[in-house]
Every structure is written in C-alpha cells, then in structure tokens.
Structure 1
Amino acid sequence: MKKLILLASVFALLFTTGCKKNVKEKNEPITEIEKDEPIVEAVKNAKVRLTMASKSESSVKGNIVFNQEDGKVAMVALLEGLDPGQHAIHLHEKADCSSDDGKSSGGHWNPTNQPHGKWGDTAGYHKGDIGNFTADDKGMAVVNFSTDEWCIGCGDANKDILGKAVIVHQGVDDFTSQPSGAAGSRVSCGGIIQ
C-alpha cells in the first residue's frame, strides 16, 4: 500500500486542540501511516486522543485514539520507533507517565482480579491484557482493538478506561507469566484522560 503523508495541520487540529497534555515530554505526532480510511475516520471521530511518550531511553512514540459506539470501545494506535517484530501493549492502572521507565503507571489494569492471560481466554485475563502486535521493518505499527468490556467515562470501575495508561513494551507477552506476561521494559506510555 502506498504511504500517505498526513498534513501537519490535520494532526495539529486533531492532537493539539482540545487534547489535554498527559505527559511532561513533548513528542511529535506520527506523520506517515498506511492509507487506510477506517483509521483516518477513527482519528477524526475520536472521543479520547493521547500522545505516547518515549520511555526507558527508547524512541518509541505515537498517537492513540479511542471511540465508543454501540456499547463497544475501539482503540487505534499509530506507533513508530519500535524494533521490528512483536511487542506487547497493555492498559495499566494509572494515567501517570511521569517516571522515566513508565513504572509510575502501576501494574496491569485488573479490576476483576483475574490471572494474566490472553484476551478472551477462559482461564482468565486482565481487562488491560490487549496482547501483542507486530512492527514492520521500519519500526512502525498500527494496532486495532475493539471490545464491549470497556467504556469511556461510564463510571463502572470494572469497565471504565479513563484514568488508565497505555503501555507499549519492548518484548512479547507470553500470556502465561504472572502477573504481566514477561513483556520486558516499558518503552512508551500515554495516559487516557479527557
């Protein structure tokens, strides 16, 4: 697919006006993604937008949008600066990305006290256990995730993702190691706030 260079004015409109800053570091938004109309639509219609900050001396950054429609929350993440290959992505307990290593965000968001696992596994999983994604040979990735087990601002402690953080890990989630899947260092963090 041909690459589409998004105009700076579009990202300025979408990610700087009406979008609260959730980290102290200033990261530039991604300017190049694959041409994909559903992704462009998700960005335009986002209920929550956040910028991912590099952590643990990495160069991983990006933008994430969340939408809610018909009882489902959809997440679209545009990430860059990754090592090519697989990485884990999770929701963590607190929208606090102030520490250099991202550990200020706490552990995985797990309001139902389940064991760590693969999303949808009958043996259990955290509400923040999104899973793994693959970065291309240029270190870029698009992550799409949708669930009816989340909400945005509904006030249900077992579903509401506001006040949580998105964490991208250096490694791969093995879905079995407790409590976090042995996914390695936290290389990017963004708080889910409105």
Structure 2
Amino acid sequence: MSRALALASTVATFSILFACSQQASTAQEEEAAPSEPAGEEIEIAPDTTGNESLPSMMRATGDLLGDDGSTIGSINMIEGPNGIVMEVSVDEGGLEPGWHAIHFHQTGDCSDTGEYKESGGHVGKSEGGHGLLNPDGPEPGDLPNLYAFEDGSVHYETFTDIISISDVLDDDGGAIIIHEGRDDHLTQPIGGAGGRVACSVVQ
C-alpha cells in the first residue's frame, strides 16, 4: 500500500470515529434535557406544603343604604394579622359632596330609615373617649373621615388596628354609619359630625 493510500485510509477512519462520537454526545444531551412542546407553557404545580404561617383572613360585607333607604353603595372589610382594611364605595348622587364622618356602630340594624338610631352608639363607646386625636381615646369605633366627590360618589379605603371584625360582628351584629358632616376627632360624643345619613349592616 502506498503512503498516500495509507494516509487517506487513516483520515477516513478518524472522520468516522469523530462523527460517531459527536452523534453519541448529541444523543446524551437530548436525553438529559426533556423536550417541551413548542408554544406551550409549563404548568407550575400548586403549593401543597400546608404553610400554616399564612393567616386565615376574616371578611365582612354589607350594602350601604342612603337616607331614603335605597342602596347607594357597599362596604367590604378584610382582616389581616395587623388590623382591618375597609373599602367603601358610594354611587354617584349617593352623598352630599364634601367630608363625612364614618364610624363602627354597636348594632346591626338599619331598619329606622333615615334616622338609623337603631344602630346604637360606637363600638367600644366610652365616656369622654371619642376621637382619633383625643388623649383619652380613641374609641374602637372611630375612623378617619371620608370625602364625597362633586358627583356624590366615594372611593374610600382605610385601615384600623384598634378593632377586630369579631368586635363588630358580636351577638347583635354591627353597622357602619356615615354622618352628614366631618368628625373633628375631639368633640364629644361624635366629633360634631351631625345626623346619620347612611347605614350598612355588615355580616
């Protein structure tokens, strides 16, 4: 065999061995990485670890009635580990524009339309203790004022950590009352807020 023929044979053998090695390597990589169908999302399995550190959240809701007894909006409360977040939504024309006091009241009763005295006093009412700015307060039922826009609608969110939903939803239930004026957070017994113009039984 000539040197040229021997060299060509060696090169051919090397090429075949290299090609086989590459095919084997590619096959191993394809086995190691499972294929995913094109265009499909990978579905992540839900957490089934039973993480008990996440709090169970208590909720309460209610329809908000105006001074004529018609539904003008809604109340939505959710209680987390540090207090209650409350949302109040009022439809256009539901309230007079401007500031209004809002409080938690003791009794879940809005049956005396336009008066709303059946809802009782503030949750946790104490003599001389009304008002967020009161050195002897506040009462658990006290909340920041809400504001009605020019069209009478309200989109309000507030937070309180001085009351729980279970305090509101006791044996005789609880109510949210909106007053005709703002609460000055000091004057007894209701901060000079005036009459009750809206009521919601929360449950």
- What SS does the corresponding residue of 2:165 show, helix, strand or coil? coil
C-alpha contact (below 8 Å) 2:59/2:76 kept by paired residues: yes
AA partner of residue 65 (structure 2): A
Aligned pairs (5 A) from 1:99-114 = 99-100=112-113, 101-110=115-124
Q: TM-score normalized by structure 1?
A: 0.65
Aligned pairs (5 A) from 1:19-34 = none
1:139 aligns with 2:152: yes
Please point out which of 147, 151, 176 is paired with 1:166: 176
Q: Which residue of 1 aligns with 2:28?
A: none
Cα deviation 1:35-88 (Å, max 9, x = unaligned): xxxxxxxxxx98211101112x48772101011122321111102311111111
Note closer, same or farther for the CA distance 1:58–1:136 as it changes in structure 2 (3 Å cut): farther
Compute the displacement of 1:141 (Å): 1.1
Note closer, same or farther for the CA distance 1:77–1:108 as it changes in structure 2 (3 Å cut): same
Please point out which of 190, 196, 201 is paired with 1:191: 201
Cα deviation 1:117-169 (Å, max 9, x = unaligned): 126x543111111131111111111221112222223xxxxxx2212210011
Q: TM-score normalized by structure 2?
A: 0.62
Q: Which runs of 5+ in 2 are unaligned?
A: 1-56
Q: Which residue of 2 aligns with 1:93?
A: 106
Q: Which residue of 2 aligns with 1:177?
A: 187
- What SS does the corresponding residue of 1:104 show, helix, strand or coil? helix
AA partner of residue 64 (structure 2): M
Q: Please identify the structure whose Cα radius of gyration is greater.
A: 2
C-alpha RMSD of matched pairs (Å): 2.2
C-alpha contact (below 8 Å) 1:92/1:108 kept by paired residues: yes
Rounded to whole Å, the distance in 2 between the matches of 1:82 and 1:59 is: 12
Rounded to whole Å, the distance in 1 between the matches of 2:176 and 2:62 is: 9
Instruction: Report which of the two has the higher share of strand.
Output: 1
